[in-house]
Amino acid sequence: MTSWNGVAARKGVPPEVVATLNAAINRALSLSDLQEKARGLGMQARGSTPQEMGERLASDVAKWRDVIDKAGVPKQ
């Protein structure tokens, strides 16, 4: 099992704002001092696109829904 972090915005944020934020976050994630700090914490810091993030989120929701159902965990 792995964990991940992401940045989200409310629905309806203009695409140009999303693109600007995504570019800035990806630039920050490419900085050597940030990469070094992440490695020191046992993390692999990498950026992606809003589309990749959406696909990852959908995939993980489906995967864990299946695990929960198969394990018989009661829904709350």
1 pLDDT above the threshold of 80: no
Which bin fits 42, alpha (ψ -120 to 50), beta or left (φ > 0)?
A: left
CA dihedral sign, ordered 29, 33, 35, 38: negative
68 band by pLDDT with thresholds 50, 70 and 90: very high
15 pLDDT above the threshold of 80: yes
What's the predicted TM-score (pTM) here? 0.78
Among residues 40, 46, 32, 35, the alpha carbon closest in space to that of 4 is found at: 46
Range 45-67 average pLDDT: 95
What is the CA angle 20-2-36, rounded to 5? 60
Say what the pLDDT of residue 53 is.
Answer: 95
